[in-house]
Amino acid sequence: MASEGKGREQPVTEQANPLSSSIDIMSPLEMVSTLQACDAEIFDGWQDFPGMFDERIQKNLDRLVDIANPSESTVIFSGCGTSGRLGFITARTFNSWLREQGVKECYHSIMAGGDKALFTSQEAVEDDPVLGARLLQEAAEGKSHVLFFGITCGLSAPFVAGQLDLCLQHLDRFTPVLVGFNPAHMARNMPIANWNKTFLQVIKDLEAAEAKGQGFLLNPVVGPEQITGSSRMKSGTATKLLLESVLLPAHGKSFHQVSLSLREGGHLYYYSAGSGSLGIMGLIDASECPPTYGASLDDVRGFLEGGFSTLGNSDGDLSHLGPHFQISTDDFTKHMVASLSAKDLVIFLCKEQVCDVDQRIMGSGCRIACVVVSTSQTPSPPGDQDKFHVVVQLDLSSVSQCPVISGTGLWKWAALLYSELAVKWTLNAVSTGAHILKGKVFNNTMIDLKPSNVKLFHRAVGIIQRYSNLPVEQCRDYLLRALYSTDTLTEDIQNSPLAQHIKIGASKLRVVPTALLAALLKRPIAEAEKILQQQPITRQAVLASLNQQ
């Protein structure tokens, strides 16, 4: 069976970043500066690869600013996981801008897995190119011209491949733009189930369209992630920056304006007190923790003042789908406050000054922190900071002096986008640090991922291979043994389709650490499971196992 990257260079988005190789044993302060140093590569570039400021990328951005005319074309963003969520928030923000101008909304977003996937991962859908194309066709119905942004950080999601392919067959109606962070030749070249092309083949067609000015590839290389493969971090940030680099000037032109809690078994909650889209950044950050760190849906959660009406999603109120879809701050007060304990951390997200805190939250004994974003040049009174254990001030007031955005009207929107970015960086650091402290990361690789779609299944095999140095077939066998909790891989298991393994991978805990430990020790799966039960911190368990050999 083919494996991710077998016989080929590892895509940059899947490589380990040398700057963070010891992040698992750093102090929290060192972690934060390491996250920052890696983030700097978004702007400084990575090795000799073309980065953000590469001539081709800049030229494509300029061309797109010309093409993106909010009063004439329809703009559709689509992606899976974080990529889809960032498309959603971008569409949401720029539609509010249009509404405020009295102009018809022109932005739409498609998310693999629908609105549910905005805050719970639905990875299996990411592998379906036919569904992707169908949803794009539906969203584009009746539109004469669609500027389509397909976002897939790894240049790998079949869902997006299907959509790009649809656009490429109808270049009279669609202008496809692919946003991702690998050089084109590193795009995934593996067969896609029920389809006749690989992602790499789609990119070749897109490059041909780009040569004629009919399609665009926005793929600056921003270097490997702080936590290997955690594309919500640098790639997510770079996605946000690229989309905004097109839309902010396009709008300007049109309108002439310019973890400790987790480690102790507690929970992390983001509580947005009237901070609008900043609270959505909290929902986005929380929703990435289950797929990235194998966290439970309860470990990290986001709550938004106004719930679904603030979110403004197309399917409306989804709270009937279950407790994890109850996302308003009222839901938090109604359902969560009673169970808060001293192990939990609630982070309030506020604008301009710290907010009031409900007495019941104060009285629960949980830890409370506040992230305050201020963009105003006339500072607000600080508010009562004493009730918080920590207050993080993000002062963005100086951004208004940036000459590019000093025009009237534009500043307000630029300030909002900068605020979202600042909150993204802050929350990414908080949730990443919390999971490192919980022992989910080995060197700088998250080894406790759930193999719940094709990409993640192959990433899991790759992790076992990297640390065990065993042939890929054996690593796959170890993964299957851990998935099915057996040392006997029956013909039934061996012949089951990948989709079956993925289904089990979506719900089973600690599959990869178990498989890795069994592979390193050449011991039965049951023994590896037992060791990990006694020592859940993966690094310690792996090191102890290696020392005992």
Separation CA 125–CA 128 (nearest Å): 6
CB of 530 to ligand F1P, least distance (A): 30
Which amino acid makes up residue 54? D
Looking at beta carbons only, is 479 or 520 nearer to ligand F1P? 479
At 471 the three-state DSSP class reads coil
Separation CA 87–CA 456 (nearest Å): 22
CB of 164 to ligand F1P, least distance (A): 12
For the chain, give me the number of helices (H) and strands (E)? 20, 12
Tokens 């396009």 label which residue?
A: 250
**Residue 42, token pair as written in the block:** 């978004």
CB of 155 to ligand F1P, least distance (A): 7
CB of 86 to ligand F1P, least distance (A): 9
Task: Please say whether the dihedral angle defined by the alpha carbons of residues 91, 94, 96 and 101, taken in this order, is positive or negative.
Answer: negative
Taking 3-state DSSP, the helix, strand and coil percentages for the chain, each rounded to the nearest 5, stand at 55, 10, 35
Looking at beta carbons only, is 305 or 448 nearer to ligand F1P? 448
Q: Is 459 exposed, middle or buried (0-12, 13-18, 19+ CB in 10 A)?
A: buried
Looking at beta carbons only, is 234 or 539 nearer to ligand F1P? 234
Beta bridge partners of 373: 351, 394
Looking at beta carbons only, is 225 or 352 nearer to ligand F1P? 225
Looking at beta carbons only, is 231 or 237 nearer to ligand F1P? 231
**Residue 147 host element (H or E):** strand 146-151
CB of 538 to ligand F1P, least distance (A): 19
- DSSP code, position 173: T
CB of 112 to ligand F1P, least distance (A): 7
Position closest to ligand F1P via CB: 81
Enumerate residues 6+ apart whose C-beta is below 8 A from 424: 236, 237, 240, 281, 284, 285
Footprint of ligand F1P on this chain (CB under 6 A)?
A: 79-83, 123, 126, 152-154, 156-157, 231-232, 288, 291-292
Looking at beta carbons only, is 266 or 291 nearer to ligand F1P? 291
CB of 325 to ligand F1P, least distance (A): 19
At 394 the three-state DSSP class reads strand
Looking at beta carbons only, is 240 or 351 nearer to ligand F1P? 240
Looking at beta carbons only, is 126 or 210 nearer to ligand F1P? 126
Where are the alpha helices (H) located in 48-103, listed in sequence order? 55-67, 82-100
CB of 151 to ligand F1P, least distance (A): 6
